[in-house]
Amino acid sequence: MIELKNVTYRYPFSDRNALEDISLKVRPGEAVLCTGVSGCGKSTLIRLINGLCPHYFGGELQGTVHVAGQDNQKLKLHEISTRVGTLFQNPETQFFALGVEEEMAFKPESRGMPPDKIRELIAKTSQRFGLNSVLKNTIHELSQGQKQKVGLASLMMEPLQVLILDEPTGNLDPESTMDLAEEILRLKEKGVAVLIVDHRLYWLKDVADRVCVMEKGRIVQEGTFDDLSDEVRERYGLRKVDVEDKRHELPSLSQGKETVMKVSDLSFAYSRKPKIFNGTDLELRKGITGLFGPNGTGKTTLARILTGLNKPAQGTLEIRGKKVKPQECLKHVAVVLQNADHQLYMRTVFDELLTSLEAAGCRGGQQAAEELLQLFDLTELRDRHPHSLSGGQQQRLVIACAFAKKPDVIILDEPTSGLDGANLHRIAGALRQLSDEGKAVLVITHDLELVDMVCDSAIRLPLQKTNLSATFQ
C-alpha cells in the first residue's frame, strides 16, 4: 500500500514548497487517479512514493511516506524499487538496453533469475502486451506508444506491490488505452496498489476507485468520478469524463478548401525494412486534419518526411503549387515532435521563443514573444529553464515556438499528451486561429477530446491503397 501523512516537500534551491500538507492512502487492490493542471505537483508526488525525492533530487521533506509498510526515509533507493514500479511519462528515461527483448530481460537478470525462466517470462509478457512483432527490434525503431508498452511490460516482468503510472495514455491509441484499463483491473484483482497520474479521465471511469484533484501542491478534492461535475472540472481545469470517438465520422479531405501541400508518388522504407509508403499521393488542405492509426503504423514517419527530416526514396513535394526539395521543407513546415524536450535548446523560456522568432525573420521579436507567452499561458515561466518545466509546460512552449515560425503547414505529433483541460482548450483555440489564417494543420493524435474539438478531416493509417485521399474513408 501507499500512505502519505502530512507530507510537505521543497526542492533544493527553491523558495516555495512543491507539495504542502499532503495526506493520501492507496490500499492493496485499489486504483487511485490523481489529476490537476500542469505544474500542480503530481510529478513530485510520484517521486516521493518511488523514492526519487528526496533520495535522488535532495530537498526538504516533512511528514512520512510509507510504501508496502516501510518508511521510504529509512530505505535506500534500490530497496524501494523492489516494491514500487513506475512507468514515467517519457519511457525513454527509464530504458537501460538498446533492444526490446534485452530491456524486458534487464530487471529479472539483475535479480539473478535463471535464463530459461527469463525467456519463458518474456514470451508470456510480450504476448500479454502485444509486443511479439517488435521483440527483436531496437528501442529506437519503436513508436512512442510502443515504447510505452515496452516500459510497462518490463515492469510486469516481476510481481509488484505498488505500480505508479505517469500519463500512461499520452501516446497510446484508444484501443491500447482500453487494453491498459483491463490490465489495471487484473492488477487490482492481484492486490496491487495502483496510482495513476493522468489528465485524461474518461478511460478510468470504471477503473479508478477514487479521484484526487491537486492544485498548487495540495489535494483540494477527493472523491469518486460522480464528484467530477462540470462545475468542479471547470474550476480546476480538468478534462471531460465522457468522450465520444468521432474519428470515423470525419471526411477524407476538407472539401472545397485550397491545397497547401501536395505529395505525389511517395515511397519510403527504413533500412532493411518493408516499405511503409509505396507510390502514395497526399494532399493537405487549409483546415485541421487528424492523422490517425494504431501505434507503429508510420504516423511519425510521415510527419518527418513532410518536414524533410526523413528523405523519401522517391516522390515530389509541392507547397502552394511550387515544387520544393526535401531539405527545403523546414522553411515552410513547422513540426512539434512527441518528445518536447528534444526541441528546446535555450536557457530561458523567453529566449526560446525569441530565438524562434528571430530565425523566422520576425520584426519586433520582443513584443511578439510577450504575446506568445500570454497566448500559451507561459508568462509566469518566462525566466525558467525549459528543461525545468513539467511535460505539459514544455509541450506548450514547443507549440508556441512552432507558431512563431508562421509556417504554411504545421504538424503536431501528439500535441496534447501532457495537457490539462484548460490548456487543451487553449491549444485547440490556437490551432483554429492558424486554420482561419489559411494554414494547413496536421494533427497526429490519439486524443479523442482534441479530435472532437478541432478536426474537420482525417487521414487514416495503415494504407491499403497507394492514394491516400482515396483510402482514408
Cα distance between residue 120 and residue 118, in whole Å = 5
> Are 402 and 444 members of one domain?
yes
Q: Is residue 194 part of a domain?
A: yes
What is the model's pLDDT at position 61? 96
Cα dihedral sign, 76-80-81-85: negative
- Per-residue pLDDT reduced to its tens digit, 20-72: 999 999 999 999 999 999 889 999 999 999 999 999 999 999 999 999 889 99
DSSP 66: E
Question: Using an 8 Å Cβ cutoff, are 236 and 36 in contact?
Answer: yes
What is the model's pLDDT at position 337? 83
Mean pLDDT of 359-387: 87
Give 254's pLDDT tier (boundaries 50, 70, 90): low
Q: What is the dihedral of CA 358, 361, 363, 364, to 10 degrees?
A: -20
Q: Is residue 114 part of a domain?
A: yes
Of 184-188, 280-284, 339-343, least confident by mean pLDDT is 339-343
Cell of 104: 524486458
> Are 454 and 327 members of one domain?
yes
Question: What's the whole-model pTM score?
Answer: 0.83
What is the model's pLDDT at position 256? 67
> Are 44 and 142 members of one domain?
yes
Cα distance between residue 398 and residue 310, in whole Å = 20
Question: Does the pLDDT at position 284 exceed 50?
Answer: yes
Cα distance between residue 118 and residue 130, in whole Å = 18
Cα distance between residue 163 and residue 147, in whole Å = 18
SS3 63: strand
Q: 142-146, 192-196, 465-469: which has the highest mean pLDDT?
A: 192-196
Q: Is residue 241 part of a domain?
A: no
What is the model's pLDDT at position 165? 95
What is the model's pLDDT at position 150? 93
Q: In residues, how long is the chain? A: 473
The domain that holds 185 is classified in CATH as 3.40.50.300
> Are 32 and 127 members of one domain?
yes
The residue out of 198, 214, 236 marking a domain boundary is 236
Burial 180-199 (b: 16+ CB within 10 A, else e): bbebbeebbeeebbbbbbbb
The residue out of 185, 205, 236 marking a domain boundary is 236
The residue out of 190, 217, 236 marking a domain boundary is 236
Q: Is residue 98 part of a domain?
A: yes
> Are 193 and 294 members of one domain?
no
- Total domains in the chain come to 2
> Are 258 and 212 members of one domain?
no
What is the span of the domain harbouring residue 282? 247-471
Cell of 472: 482514408
Between strands 60-67 and 277-285, the pairing is: unpaired
- Per-residue pLDDT reduced to its tens digit, 395-436: 889 989 988 888 899 999 888 887 889 889 988 998 998 899
Half-sphere exposure of 139 (CA within 13 A, CB side): 19
Mean pLDDT of 295-317: 89
Q: Is residue 242 part of a domain?
A: no
> Are 232 and 268 members of one domain?
no
What is the model's pLDDT at position 473? 25
- Per-residue pLDDT reduced to its tens digit, 431-473: 998 899 899 999 999 899 999 999 999 998 875 443 443 232 2
Q: Is residue 116 part of a domain?
A: yes
> Are 147 and 257 members of one domain?
no
DSSP 99: B
What is the model's pLDDT at position 454? 94
Residues with Cβ within 8 Å of 79's Cβ and at least 6 positions away in sequence, in order, are 70
Q: Is residue 376 part of a domain?
A: yes
Between strands 333-336 and 322-324, the pairing is: unpaired
DSSP 328: G
229: burial class by Cβ within 10 Å (0-12, 13-18, 19+)? exposed
> Are 281 and 359 members of one domain?
yes
What is the model's pLDDT at position 418? 75
Q: What are phi and psi of 415, to 5 degrees?
A: -70, -15
> Are 195 and 252 members of one domain?
no
> Are 287 and 190 members of one domain?
no
- Per-residue pLDDT reduced to its tens digit, 200-242: 999 999 999 999 999 999 999 999 999 999 999 999 999 999 9
> Are 150 and 274 members of one domain?
no
